[in-house]
Amino acid sequence: MKVFSLLGFAQASGNLISGYNSCLAALRRRGIQLVVLACDASAGTIRAFEKAAKRVPIIHVGTKEQLGAAIGKPARSVLCVKDAGMAQAIIKAANTKKTEAEGSDGRVEELADQARGDA
């Protein structure tokens, strides 16, 4: 899947943060353009990042093992992309794969603030 290749490029170029604590800290510091959550991430992890992301888009793609393999690391539930251009390319690739999706795989979620009507 092209999304996984793009995540690998983001990792290689230094534009990716991985792991629960590192991603939460990066979201607090701002500058994150995209949050990528594994489809099999725990409900608690999903809630935490939906709350922390605020106006940052979130996509659900693949499994924890697939996300880890894409960036050459052990399983990861969450990845954060720092580069805006790379984030847009990943979103586009995820949306073009909707027909191959399982569950919410490949779908960009509405931002939490927009869903509540705050935006």
Kindly tell me if the per-residue pLDDT of 114 is higher than 90. Answer: no
Q: Is residue 119 part of a domain?
A: no
Kindly tell me if the per-residue pLDDT of 39 is higher than 50. Answer: yes
pLDDT, tens digit, for every residue of 42-100?
A: 999 999 999 999 899 999 999 999 999 999 999 999 999 999 999 999 999 988 855 44
Tokens of 2: 């092209």
Q: Is residue 72 part of a domain?
A: yes
Q: Is residue 116 part of a domain?
A: no
Q: Is residue 117 part of a domain?
A: no
Q: Is the pTM of this model over 0.75?
A: yes
Identify the pLDDT of residue 119: 40
Identify the pLDDT of residue 98: 52
Kindly tell me if the per-residue pLDDT of 31 is higher than 80. Answer: yes
Q: Is residue 115 part of a domain?
A: no
Q: Is residue 114 part of a domain?
A: no
Give whole-number Cα distances, 100 to 6, 68, 93, 95, 110, in Å: 17, 20, 12, 10, 20
Residue with tokens 């499994």: 63
Q: Give the integer Cα–Cα distance in Å for 93 and 30.
A: 24
How many independent structural domains does the chain possess? 1
Q: Which domain holds residue 22?
A: 2-109
**Closest residue by Cα to residue 30 from 84, 78, 68:** 84
Tell me if 61 sits within 8 A of 46, measured CB to CB.
no
Q: What percent of the chain has pLDDT over 90?
A: 73
Tokens of 71: 């960036």
CATH number at residue 46: 3.30.1330.30
